Structure 1
Amino acid sequence: MDITSILEEYKKGTLSLEAAQAALAERGRSHTAQTADLGFAHIDLARQERCGFPEVVYCAGKTVEQSVTILTLLMKKYDNIIGTRASKEVYERLLPDFPDVQYDDLARMVYQRKDTTIVNGDRTIAVVTAGTSDIPVSEEAALTAEIMGNKVMRIYDVGVAGIHRLLSRADDIRKANVVIVVAGMEGALASVVGGLVSQPVIAVPTSIGYGANFHGLSALLAMLNSCAAGVSVVNIDNGFGAGRLADILNRMR
């Protein structure tokens, strides 16, 4: 039984307190046991049940063999799986066994998306990008949100250096339920968008910029110091984190 059923049975009186406690304890043990020990990694096989989406594999720093082994295990179990910061070699190794696997060069994501159901069809996530150079991080965010079942609207290259470009799309941005803003350099776009919309804004600083940008630190600090209310900030270049947070928010009314 799932947790809701256990609690309902206890509430109705058809399950004693001791039996309910035992059932909950057994459920906890079964979830704890739902890991796969690969020697070099312990894979969480119950994350979808707990959090709504399976474990996502961060491939950077792993060998191709390690990434392929982990992704193979997950792709056999789940319809939709994501590997971020993956090389094309990982994709090529997976393709013979998983014909549905795809690779996006810009986002550097390898993914399997068998289930294309849009679970939030009446609610859109807007991904707004300051410059063309920010698109790789934006695509990581957009693809993440799409694979998790969201409708995504991309609005690219509307940075504050030519603010008329942004203002011409303001009505489109306001139609979204959640807005992701991706910007490098001085990171000003997040504050401007935050002052134009009533929806939650997720700011993503990128490492795009000249020397004083400090590989994205200046954009990060600018976004953290935003004077616009309702702006949250993820880490530098963390498109995946923004896409996942937007997915969670978009499932809420």
Structure 2
Amino acid sequence: MTDEEFIAMLHQYKEGKISEREAMKEFQRASFEDIGFAEIDHSRERRQGFPEVIFAEGKTKEQVLAIMESLKQTSKGSIMATRASCAQFDFVHAGLPETQYDEAARIIYIERPAKRDPAHTILILTAGTSDIPVAEEARLTAYLWGNEVKTHYDCGVAGIHRLLAHRDDIESANVIIVIAGMEGALASVVGGLTDKPVIAVPTSVGYGAAFHGVTALLAMLSSCAAGISVVNIDNGFGAGVLASKINHLR
């Protein structure tokens, strides 16, 4: 519920057009909706600027559809379900034909119009091609949250000349997301090349001593390059949200 809708409801109550009980129900519905297996946070868009995002992994396809249907009715921003499977999308799409699916990002979404400022871009860099699924989750998240996004994939430190070839984009970006597995060295290198915020995402890519992303996580947390923040392993969504919030600061 927007501020204007909230004020309009107060006027309706004041003018006797709705009862106290009806007003109370509207207030409750605007806050959250209890559908038995989930309590949908309808006020999140008003508080944080974007509707509640569904984590589809672990949910049934019926649950994902029901939550998306509810959010569609009350939200103005894009609707997202992350870590979603093809099977979940097929079921959701049958009930909500306007949904789309990005298989690489594993996101089911309904895109709503958003204003994007081409002068304030988010740049996403990956160390390797195997990091692309996490990068695509970050890219689509940031895009749906109303940002211009550029990407350069497979430019890790094993061939540093590939990274340096993108120096112009590194210098012009407003926020940079660096995604790397193995030893996670790319975040430190990029952090030393820019005065912009760097969000590092460790991935679970790598052989045994990479410990499913723990090695990259610890390396990024221990970086000597200043101005690097680190999100959880494989958390492209979290990086996309944080980058968006930073990018919208003026």
Counterpart Cα distance in 2 of 1:52 and 1:45: 11
Other-structure match for 1:127? 124
Q: 1:95 aligns to what SS in structure 2?
A: helix
Superposed CA offset, 1:13-67 (max 9, x none): xxxxxxxxxxxxx99x947961111111111001000000000000111122212
Other-structure match for 2:85? 87
Amino acid aligned to 1:245:
L
Q: Quote how far apart the aligned CAs of 1:219 are.
A: 0.4
Q: 1:168 to 1:96 in 2, by over 3 A?
A: same
Counterpart Cα distance in 1 of 2:44 and 2:188: 34
Q: Given the two structures, how large is their TM-score scaled by the length of structure 1? A: 0.86
Q: Quote how far apart the aligned CAs of 1:71 are.
A: 1.5
**Contact 1:31-1:46 at 8 Å conserved across structures:** no
Superposed CA offset, 1:181-221 (max 9, x none): 00000000000000001100000000000011111000000
Other-structure match for 1:15? none
Q: Which 4+ runs in 1 deviate beyond 3 A?
A: 29-33
Q: 1:134 aligns to what SS in structure 2?
A: helix
Task: Compute the RMSD of aligned alpha carbons.
Answer: 2.1
How many percent identity over aligned positions?
Answer: 57
Counterpart Cα distance in 1 of 2:109 and 2:30: 26
Q: Quote how far apart the aligned CAs of 1:99 are.
A: 2.8
Superposed CA offset, 1:210-233 (max 9, x none): 011111000000000010000000
Counterpart Cα distance in 2 of 1:216 and 1:231: 17
Other-structure match for 1:60? 57
Give 5+ residue unaligned stretches, structure 1: 7-25
| 1:37 aligns with one of 34, 46, 49 | 34
**Contact 2:101-2:107 at 8 Å conserved across structures:** yes
**Contact 1:59-1:83 at 8 Å conserved across structures:** yes
| 1:146 aligns with one of 143, 146, 150 | 143
Q: 1:126 to 1:31 in 2, by over 3 A?
A: farther
Give 5+ residue unaligned stretches, structure 2: 8-22
**Contact 2:65-2:95 at 8 Å conserved across structures:** no
Q: Given the two structures, how large is their TM-score scaled by the length of structure 2? A: 0.87
| 2:106 aligns with one of 102, 105, 108 | 108
Q: 1:154 aligns to what SS in structure 2?
A: strand
Amino acid aligned to 2:224:
C
**Contact 1:35-1:43 at 8 Å conserved across structures:** yes
